[in-house]
Amino acid sequence: MSNLAIRVEGLGKQYRIRSAQVRYKTIRDSVVGGLRAFGARLRGDVEGGGRGELIWALRDVSFEVKSGEVVGVIGLNGAGKSTLLRLLARITEPTVGHGEIHGRVGSLLEVGTGFHQELTGRENVFLSGVTLGMKRAEVLRKFDEIVAFAEMDKFIDTPVKHYSSGMYTRLAFSVAAHLEPEILVVDEVLAVGDTRFQKKCLTKMSAAGHEGRTVLFVSHNMGTIARLCPRAMLLEGGHLVNDGPASEIVSAYLHGGTGTTALREFETPVGRDVARLRAARVRTADGSIAQVIDVRQSVSIEIEYDVLRPAQLLPQLHLTNEEGIHVCSLHDVDPAWRGRERPVGRWTSTVTIPANFLSEGMIFVRVALLTLNPPSTQFSRNEVVAFRIVDSGDGDSARGDWTGSMEGIVRPMLPWTNEMSAAAESDPKPGRVARG
């Protein structure tokens, strides 16, 4: 128990949705309503009295988090993610169940907590810091670091009502990010500012995990979850429905719960009379099967199939991202078998996608195999395997590695050349036109 940071047993939170129709109460209504509510409490009826529909925002949730774990919490809007964090942060009380917290808790549940529009950035740093649980001396000690992180030194003495939304959120997040609790509870606050600042926020949260702090992190960005959290929990309708390695939970969530993974083996091969598919695998450069792959690593996709009759074959892979956009099609162009029949036997066809080619995101793979002369489709299966490309931020800037997001489906790092043909004319003579 000594290494346990969070323990939750049977946690539930119920809310009453009040009726839109409001009428004035008489004294009789109030007395009768009070007696009904008192009787309900005596019976142990958690629904109690009153008007309006009762809903469970969270129900019968149990889990444990060890000290130093970084755990992502994912699910659709209304799944109960924010409710769970608010219960753990002691912002609201549970209806049933309980949660044990071992250590000082810092919560980043709403960027801008404690900010006042009429005060300057400097004044708001102290006000927000104290509101979030920091001592004044602690805010004073970290003040320069907070301002530098937010890149707000020029405007720190300007009232925040004159800030742009990006400036406001950068300063607000910077204050919250400099808390030093043992347990950090974070609710979708990394999506602030521009792309470069979001990367700084992500690095700050990642550092908290590496420093041994426990982090519980809610986000709708599956790339961030897969990159930051080794473990993830999936909530649906207020219930905890899945808990395990982040790559597996994210894949199941994005794929609608059907469990697409980097390895798919068919107990009964699928196909027709010439060829049948047995398996598909996603491998990293070292040959290991993996579902989360750094953008700086190559990724190989292999399909294993049985050839039942000699034929000219064309293996194909079709890649689609999580937005349903067709990324590319990969056809087997091995010249050794062009125009030749492949003999009967078990075959493995592999294609390698180079590093720094695919953009960040989830990739779903459709596997197909065609015969030629005459043309025929032997098998074609959608989303047989899937994998996620992430940017870990571990690139070497001295080597020229890019460590930020790039727009588009692909992000190829193609070779460039730079040559200087002559010295520039920095001070052209009078009467001449400088060319450029």
What are the residue ranges of helices labelled H in 44-120? 81-88
Q: How far apart are CA 159 and CA 187, in angstroms?
A: 27
**What is the DSSP annotation of 243-266?**
EEEHHHHHHHHHTTTS---SEEEE
- Which stretch of DSSP H or E encloses residue 9? strand 4-17
Residue 113 neighbours by CB under 8 Å, 6+ apart: 128, 131, 132, 172, 176
Q: Is the pLDDT of residue 192 over 60?
A: no
Instruction: Name the DSSP letter for residue 435.
Output: P
**For residue 196, which amino acid is it?**
R
Q: How far apart are CA 372 and CA 316, in angstroms?
A: 13
- Tell me: cis bond preceding 374? Omega within 30 of 0 counts: yes
Q: Which band of pLDDT confidence, cut at 50, 70 and 90, is reported for residue 197?
A: confident
For residues 413 and 327, the model is more confident at 327
The pLDDT of residue 181 is 79
Q: Is the pLDDT of residue 435 over 50?
A: no
Residue 325 class from Cβ within 10 Å (0-12 exposed, 13-18 middle, 19+ buried)? exposed
- Domains delineated in the chain: 4-20+59-254 (3.40.50.300), 263-390 (2.70.50.60)
Q: Which band of pLDDT confidence, cut at 50, 70 and 90, is reported for residue 22?
A: very low
Q: How far apart are CA 346 and CA 15, in angstroms?
A: 59
Digit-coded pLDDT (tens) for 315-339: 999 998 876 688 999 999 889 998 8
For residues 306 and 179, the model is more confident at 306
Beta bridge partners of 8: 63, 99
The pLDDT of residue 273 is 92
Q: How far apart are CA 117 and CA 176, in angstroms?
A: 17
Torsion angle in degrees (nearest 10) through CA of 254, 260, 263, 266: -170
The pLDDT of residue 325 is 81
For residues 136 and 45, the model is more confident at 136
Q: Is the pLDDT of residue 239 over 90?
A: yes
**Are the C-beta atoms of 287 and 302 separated by less than 8 Å?**
no
Average the pLDDT over 271-278 and give the result: 94
- Which stretch of DSSP H or E encloses residue 184? strand 183-187
pTM over 0.85: no
Digit-coded pLDDT (tens) for 333-356: 889 998 899 999 999 999 999 999
Q: Is the pLDDT of residue 210 over 80?
A: no
Residue 179 neighbours by CB under 8 Å, 6+ apart: 106, 108, 132, 133, 134
Q: Which band of pLDDT confidence, cut at 50, 70 and 90, is reported for residue 368?
A: very high
Sequence-ordered strand ranges (E) for 260-311: 263-271, 275-284, 292-294, 299-307
The pLDDT of residue 23 is 53
Digit-coded pLDDT (tens) for 82-130: 899 889 888 888 999 988 888 878 777 766 666 888 999 999 999 888 8
**Are the C-beta atoms of 350 and 301 separated by less than 8 Å?**
yes
Q: Is the pLDDT of residue 240 over 90?
A: yes
**Are the C-beta atoms of 281 and 302 separated by less than 8 Å?**
yes
Distance of CA 110 to the CA centre of its chain: 18
